Structure 1
Amino acid sequence: MMIGIKENIQKVKSSLPDNVTLVAVSKTKPIADIQEAYDAGQRIFGENKIQEMVAKYDVLPKDIQWHMIGHLQRNKVKYMAHFVDLIHGVDSFKTLEEINKQAKKHDRVINCLLQAHIAKEDTKFGLTFVEIEEILASNELKELKNIKIVGLMGMATFTDNEEQLQEEFSSLASFFNKKQENYPALQILSMGMSGDYKLAIKKGSTMVRIGSSIFGVRNYIA
């Protein structure tokens, strides 16, 4: 849905505090829609399939920052290592090792967020807080010179229960704030999507991932 993308971006941006970054979730959306969002001033886009992101990177302006926001398959990291700006959903140390390996080939440092499992749904990926602490404190992490952990990401339960959402966002925000004391490189807290981003911001999110409020309802092809 091309009509209204510019207006939608302006509306969403006007609702964000200055310290909150907007990631326009462009997965499944055509090049023309992304170009329209780009022409409206948006420069950060999120995709959840590497092949789709690569195809879009190849034809769209090169000052776009591409964020990988979906679950990451390690064997596909190599396809995006030369350009991806931020990887949101890192949920294992092995994945960090693979990102580091591929980034090294391109003489790059790739920024990563560790994904915390905060939802009550088993279908969501992510690390426990204990697992995140172990990764951050590990000597092995110091050996990975071509990645940088710059924050945490969490996906709340898909629910209308605002109390539950607040609890999930608050738990991650509290953990994030505590970890920042010892790990000042943690600057980004990525929480919140079209349906719950305003609540996530109230709880401390500094990056929101918004798709349908910008591009309209997604058309999934079976």
Structure 2
Amino acid sequence: MKKISENLSNIRESLPENVVLVAVSKTKENVEIMEAYDAGQRIFGENKVQELCRKWEALPKDIQWHMIGHLQRNKVKYLAEFVSLIHGVDSVRLLREINKRAAASGRVIDCLLQVHIAEESSKFGLDEQELQEVLNQEFLAGLPNIRVRGLMGMATFTEDEDQVRKEFRYLKSLFDQLPAFLEKADILSMGMSGDYLLAIEEGSNMVRIGSSIFGPRESH
């Protein structure tokens, strides 16, 4: 297998300038993350809070850590001090908890609202009605330590390209409505190793790529 730095270089070449690459480093060792770091990568995504905190403590402090997995409210306090972006905000209660912990840390935390776009029931996310409730300006005004930067979604895991496109297109249509509610809505996070090129074609400007950089993931 090619080295991580070569994989990273190849992926970067495939990305338009406006697309941000989140290197998904879950289950990967610090030495592997440092290989990507030495190749210029500074944004990494993790899906387990304990692992994220451990890596944050051990690795260079100019790394931007993104929480990309499902986040439980009782775990927010552990990452509020340092997390750069929380991708999977899927409930009002979670937003309130992030705001509370961000205030305690003297920070404003950037968040993405996760919308359920897949046909699989296992994926988390807000439906369209819940999204409208969260985007209520009065509600958001009561959360001064949160900055909603955009949306995130995960397409159905399927070989059916048309279905994946349809789901990404739906999320993009919701994203296009955000300026009516938010001052700064500039991130549409959709697309992973298997479908990121499709996601970019449908308007994504942030992709989460792991196995195509680091190789197959061990079960975790």
TM-score normalised to the size of structure 1?
0.97
Matched, 1:139 2:133: no
- Asked whether the 8 Å contact 2:30–2:55 carries over to 1, the reply is yes
Q: Give ranges in structure 2 of 5+ residues lacking alignment.
A: none
Q: In structure 1, what is the equivalent of residue 54 of structure 2?
A: 55
| C-alpha displacement of 1:133 | 1.3
Verify: 1:212 aligned to 2:208, yes or no: no
Runs of 4+ with >6 A deviation? none
Superposed, 1:72-221 pairs within 5 Å as 72-221=71-220
Deviation of the 1:138 alpha carbon: 4.6
Letter of the 1:68 counterpart: M
1:188 maps to amino acid: I
Given that 2:20 and 2:205 are in contact with CA atoms closer than 8 Å, whether structure 1 keeps it comes out as: yes
String of CA shifts for 1:48-73, please: whole Å, max 9, x gaps: 00000000000100000000000011
- What is the identity, as a one-letter code, of the residue corresponding to 1:191? M
Q: Identity of counterpart residues, as a percentage?
A: 61
Distance in 1 between the 2:39 and 2:18 partners?
20
Structure 2 Cα separation of the partners of residues 194 and 148 of structure 1:
27
Describe the SS at the equivalent of 1:220: coil
Map of 1:13 onto structure 2: 12
- Runs of 5+ in structure 1 lacking a partner? none
Q: TM-score normalised to the size of structure 2? A: 0.98
Give the Cα separation in 2 of the matches to 1:23 and 1:126.
20
Partner amino acid, structure 2, of 1:19: N
Change (3 A) 1:148 1:87: same
Q: Distance in 2 between matches of 1:182 and 1:111?
A: 16
Provide the aligned length of Structure 1 versus Structure 2. 220
Q: Distance in 2 between matches of 1:48 and 1:220?
A: 13
Report the CA distance between 1:194 and its aligned residue. Answer: 0.1
What is the CA-CA distance between 1:179 and the residue it aligns to? 2.1
Shift of 1:78: 0.4
Deviations 1:24-49 (A, max 9, x none): 00000000000000000000000000
Distance in 2 of aligned mates of 1:190 and 1:47: 15
CA distance in 2, matches of 1:110, 1:137: 18
> Which amino acid is the alignment partner of residue 35 of structure 1?
M
Q: Distance in 2 between matches of 1:91 and 1:16?
A: 28
Rounded to whole Å, the distance in 1 between the matches of 2:148 and 2:217 is 31
Deviation at 1:110, TM superposition (A): 0.3
**1:100 alignment partner AA:** N
